[in-house]
Amino acid sequence: MLKIGIICYPSVGGSGIIATELGKMLAKQGHEIHFITSSLPFRLNSFNPNIYFHEVELNHYPVFQYPPYDLALATKVAEVIDTEKLDIIHAHYAVPHAICAILAKQMAKHPVKIVTTLHGTDITVLGIDLSLKKMIQFGIEQSDAVTAVSHSLVNQTKEMLEIQRPIHVMYNFVNEQEYQAHNRVELKQKFGIQKDEKVLIHISNFRKVKRLEDVIRTFAAVNKETPSRLLLIGDGPEYGRIYDLVRELQLDQVVHFLGKQKNIPSLLSIADIKLLLSEKESFGLVLLEAMACGVPCIGSNVGGIPEVIEDGVTGFIEELGDINAFAARTLELISDTNKWHAFSDNAKERVLQCFSSDKIKKQYEDLYAKVLGEY
Ligand code: GMT
């Protein structure tokens, strides 16, 4: 059994969820897991004797304009490598986490291997700030193994960063015990949703890349044709603008802004269609969550989305920004009960076949063994 340190962002977000759920599964398997983060990861909600949490504390020295979080993290990681005799550091993101892990490895006395997972944001950051290119390249080159969450992200990383080394694809996964369809009727009543109304859902951090406006306009086109509601889950920078747009389109009675929510499987269970119309998406964990609950998805032909939705089988893929096509596909599914049920069953099946948490955990375990030279 291995001793594994995990560095991730502990707050809500796909990468934090994947890092935490992977840690929980590995702990169940008997590995010793050490989360090293700024606060307790939000999905770490049950006790497991194999899971430890090391908090990175920040001191506010007057000489620093900004408290140096990255250096505090590297120091903490080095300390944990030595005290706990870690075998592996699994860093989620090249910048800053892999960089901190590399620095920690140099400071520590105990030998350790570094596995870095790319979630896409490194590439997004690079698109905004080219001066970080060398840093991201360094994080990737100096890791002992690198993974990415889709083939699309591997190709993008190799192209943009001129990386030659292999990058292993390890897809996102869901906790299948948690993500299942629940009884829909009661919750629908609580929202005042009528029997004949169809429910569309969008879940995100409301960043510009998620194209919330396309979600609203797609819903508006659907709502013109059939009684329907839109559930918006999450919060973020676009919230205010989208709230105004909903009022302007006089959709405020049928669009529900629910903010950040914990019980996502229940909300997905009352949805008929999941919309993810992003302009950047390395995988789209929310699609998998929806599919696991039997919700067919409509997505944009962007990044890793076509690797998750099987076009014409578990949902539909249309070109970025093509509102008419998104709306037409939504209507095609919600107006044909037999088709919807077939897509819903296919979606559940695809999660089990292609994104099984057990299989993906095993892929990570095999990679850890490989970097440790165990085979
Ligand atoms: O989507 C976001 O903005 C959150 C971001 C994150 O860092 O948590 O999600 C990224 O990582 C997820 C887990 O691997 C992926 O499923 C998301 O597609 C990816 N987001 C983007 O590429 C925009």
Mean pLDDT for all residues in the chain: 94
Contact 250, 277 (CB under 8 A): no
Rounded Cα–Cα distance for residues 97 and 188 (Å): 42
Other C-beta atoms within 10 Å of 59: how many?
8
Q: DSSP string covering 59-119, please?
A: ---TT-SS--HHHHHHHHHHHHHHHHT-SEEEEESIIIIIHHHHHHHHH-SS--EEEEEE-
Q: Is the CB of 14 under 6 A from ligand 1?
A: yes
CATH class of 185-354: alpha beta
Atom of ligand 1 nearest to the CA of 123: 22
pLDDT at 116: 98
Nearest to 155, CA basis, from 171, 139, 166, 141:
166
Band of residue 128 on the pLDDT scale cut at 50, 70, 90: confident
Amino acid at 149: V
Q: Are 3-173+356-371 and 185-354 equal in CATH topology?
A: yes
Task: Summarize pLDDT for 264-277 with one digit per residue, the tens.
Answer: 999 999 999 999 99
> What would the mean pLDDT of 289-297 be, rounded to a whole number?
98
- Ligand 1, atom 12, residue with closest C-alpha: 14
Task: Summarize pLDDT for 187-225 with one digit per residue, the tens.
Answer: 888 889 999 999 999 999 999 999 999 999 999 999 999
Task: Summarize pLDDT for 302-354 with one digit per residue, the tens.
Answer: 999 999 999 999 999 999 999 999 999 999 999 999 999 999 999 999 999 99
Q: Best substitution site from 92, 203, 281, 291 to test ligand 1's pocket, by max atoms within 8 Å of Cβ?
A: 281
Q: Are strands 255-259 and 51-55 parallel, antiparallel or unpaired?
A: unpaired
Q: Best substitution site from 93, 170, 282 to test ligand 1's pocket, by max atoms within 8 Å of Cβ?
A: 282
Q: Does pTM top 0.80 for this prediction?
A: yes
| Ligand 1 center from residue 288 Cα (angstroms) | 12
- Ligand 1, atom 7, residue with closest C-alpha: 15
Contact 14, 283 (CB under 8 A): yes
Band of residue 123 on the pLDDT scale cut at 50, 70, 90: confident
Report the percentage of the chain scoring pLDDT > 70.
99
Task: Summarize pLDDT for 79-106 with one digit per residue, the tens.
Answer: 999 999 999 999 999 999 999 999 999 9
Rounded Cα–Cα distance for residues 40 and 149 (Å): 24
Q: Residue ranges per domain, the chain?
A: 3-173+356-371, 185-354
Rounded Cα–Cα distance for residues 210 and 13 (Å): 13
Q: Is the CB of 340 under 6 A from ligand 1?
A: no
| CATH number of 3-173+356-371, picked from 1.10.1660.10, 3.40.50.300, 3.30.950.10, 3.40.50.2000 | 3.40.50.2000
